Structure 1
């Protein structure tokens, strides 16, 4: 059974035990009945952790059942991001050993292990081929890692749980990288204003002419001090989601194409591909979610978030396509609000709400490490410009300090005003966009 099928099975079991219909659950989750049915059948996977959390609450899941469901979602989400698994290599043929005609002697080509005197006879296990042992070790490690991430994220996001996301990144001393955006290498204080740029892969070890290559220092050794005039590498790994919908369903895009040429709205997980195919731009607002992990053994202090607007243009005269015909939820995550129309936009902390319970506004400084991830959510709005923008996250650690660039895969984030533009919503009963 695949990770997605296992997650869907847990959802079906909770739904059947709770005795709620797809229609009732869909209204409580603020999604469509068909989307919820796809989740429970394994055809689709929720893109947000909050959807899984609301589903578990609506079905009356216990704390242990909620953790199991969240862990299954993490495994399925990690498998989806990793893509299809590569086929296992063919096993190496095991050597055929001819039996020795003389009893009591080992067969040719083998060695009898020495048994201490008085030790009891033990039946040796059958040796597995190397490829089988390697695959088992990888699967076991992935399960343990997913479980640890689930527990860490539940602790970090309580009481208002957010959507966790893991990201592949470099190890200590290299720039952070994410699957949906890039995080620049850290910058140091030596040059005054700290420049930033896109992340680059770690440089392989070099050696003087005619000498052997110098191996990198072990991770347990203290990081070397940066050379004068050079910035230390950011000891952070970032995963950035630039297509986050409010309540998992409420969002709008600007697109130049007419309604007859635009396909139906996707689920949130497929929004990046849908928007790229339509050359669509976030209309009026954009939510960006950043998950940060430390890459070293120590903690990193996050000191502040700065907004950089690289360009302001006149908004394009395109159509607005709404992804949902009315949507809302009882959970409003705490976040940083950004007004892109301000001369010098600031990231302003805003409190959230969890079904009537106030969620404190986020505040700096924050502590992040490999075992304690941090999730930052930024909501940017504009009513007057087509803006290119990015974020600079200031950090400090015992090895130095610098900034981490948060953007969209090495490109600037883009959000455009949409006032006065034609607005279309998708009519499911008609199978088309309607004005």
Structure 2
């Protein structure tokens, strides 16, 4: 039985036990009956875990059943990503202003998001902004799901080393190519660099810690036995367009409001941003789903931040994706202040309806049956930054470093303080301040 079939069987068992029809359950989940029928038959997989969580609660699932359902969805989603990784990614072509933007291809979406960086100033909102309540996840279900996704091994706390050097023994391999990623905002033209990029150690040279610095785009390991070909025991799926609570995010674009397409749903954000030449405004949430490829477990040792370039933020317009949303869940994550001289990935505790969620801590264990999801939120109030992450790992065959970026390109986040802010007025069908 495949991962998708196993997930669908769990859905059917919960539905049949609850005695709910497809129509009644679809109304509770705010989805169509046909879509729900495809989920339960294994013909489709929910793009967001929030749908799965609502399904479990509507059917009266226990905490243990909800955890099993979360694990099954993660494995099925990872299998789907791996199966589509080799497919070519079409490059979206912007349409003329008089022609609607092309319908983008939906990507699978994450289920938990990251709280904003405390040091980053939030983007100002206009008069169009209206708040609405959104119920996210019950405390017991969320706590159990996080316990499954993050298995922390006991050990002393570790601080992240300086971004200029790596303590790992291997060299970096781009993780952004593990899943199809539409050409992101990094492809948009950037202003000329005005600041000196943060110093990094060249490949093969010793960094401040005395270890060999990773070289982007390569995979190198310290094998456990001589003569054995090194094998990277990890697969990673990187998502660089994760929105707070699944609805709140902002982008910078050089285009005038009349030339910008209406805001997309979160799943279509990469194609929309590419078509508008947009970059992340103020903050960016990156989600990395990791699972092992061999029989043994892999230990994730540390996460290091590398800033490749800092520029003056472009004087573009800010386009807010939502007219207000909220929720009772603040996930635990790693927070990064890109304005710091040497940014660090700092663990931050979360909160679920008043129940604290512990901050993630390295080392973490990951295997083929127990995936791990890392969430990182980077924020800036002063630069247009190109950056990436290096994940150091150790496994049965050796050790190495996994480069986390946007499909081989640097991630890009730009400050948006003082820029004009636009929100989309649905009743008028246009962007307005």
> TM-score, normalised on structure 2?
0.61
Task: Determine the structure 2 residue equivalent to 1:159.
Answer: 144
Distance 1:254-1:55 versus aligned 2 partners, 3 A rule: farther
State the distance in 2 between where 1:275 and 1:62 align.
38
Offset from partner CA, 1:90-144 (integer Å, 9 cap, x none): xxxxxxxxxxxxxxxxxxxxxxxxxxxxxxxxxxxxxxxxxxxxxxxxxxxxxxx
State the distance in 1 between where 2:78 and 2:34 align.
15
Distance 1:42-1:357 versus aligned 2 partners, 3 A rule: same
Task: Determine the structure 2 residue equivalent to 1:50.
Answer: 50
State the distance in 2 between where 1:226 and 1:301 align.
23
State the distance in 2 between where 1:241 and 1:178 align.
10
Task: Determine the structure 1 residue equivalent to 2:212.
Answer: 193
Task: Determine the structure 1 residue equivalent to 2:135.
Answer: none
Report which of the two structures shows the higher radius of gyration computed on alpha carbons. 1
State the distance in 1 between where 2:247 and 2:263 align.
10
1:402 to 400, 403, 406: 400
State the distance in 2 between where 1:37 and 1:320 align.
37
Classify the secondary structure of the residue corresponding to 2:307: strand
The higher relative CO (CA closer than 8 Å, separation ≥ 6) is in: 2
Matches within 5 A, 1:319-398: 319-398=317-396
Task: Determine the structure 1 residue equivalent to 2:313.
Answer: 315
Q: Is the aligned partner of 1:62 residue 2:61?
A: yes
State the distance in 1 between where 2:324 and 2:38 align.
26
State the distance in 2 between where 1:387 and 1:232 align.
33
Q: Which runs of 5+ in 2 are unaligned?
A: 88-140, 150-171, 183-202
State the distance in 2 between where 1:74 and 1:296 align.
15
Name the count of aligned residue pairs. 314
Task: Determine the structure 2 residue equivalent to 1:434.
Answer: 432
Quote the offset at 1:406 in angstroms: 0.6
Classify the secondary structure of the residue corresponding to 2:178: coil
- The answer on whether the counterparts of 2:22 and 2:36 sit within 8 Å (CA) in structure 1 is no
Task: Determine the structure 2 residue equivalent to 1:111.
Answer: none
State the distance in 2 between where 1:402 and 1:314 align.
34
Distance 1:81-1:364 versus aligned 2 partners, 3 A rule: closer
Q: Where has structure 1 moved over 6 Å in runs of 4 or more?
A: 9-21, 35-39, 41-45, 187-191
Task: Determine the structure 2 residue equivalent to 1:292.
Answer: 290
- The answer on whether the counterparts of 2:242 and 2:284 sit within 8 Å (CA) in structure 1 is yes
Quote the offset at 1:235 in angstroms: 2.1
State the distance in 1 between where 2:397 and 2:274 align.
39
State the distance in 1 between where 2:411 and 2:311 align.
14
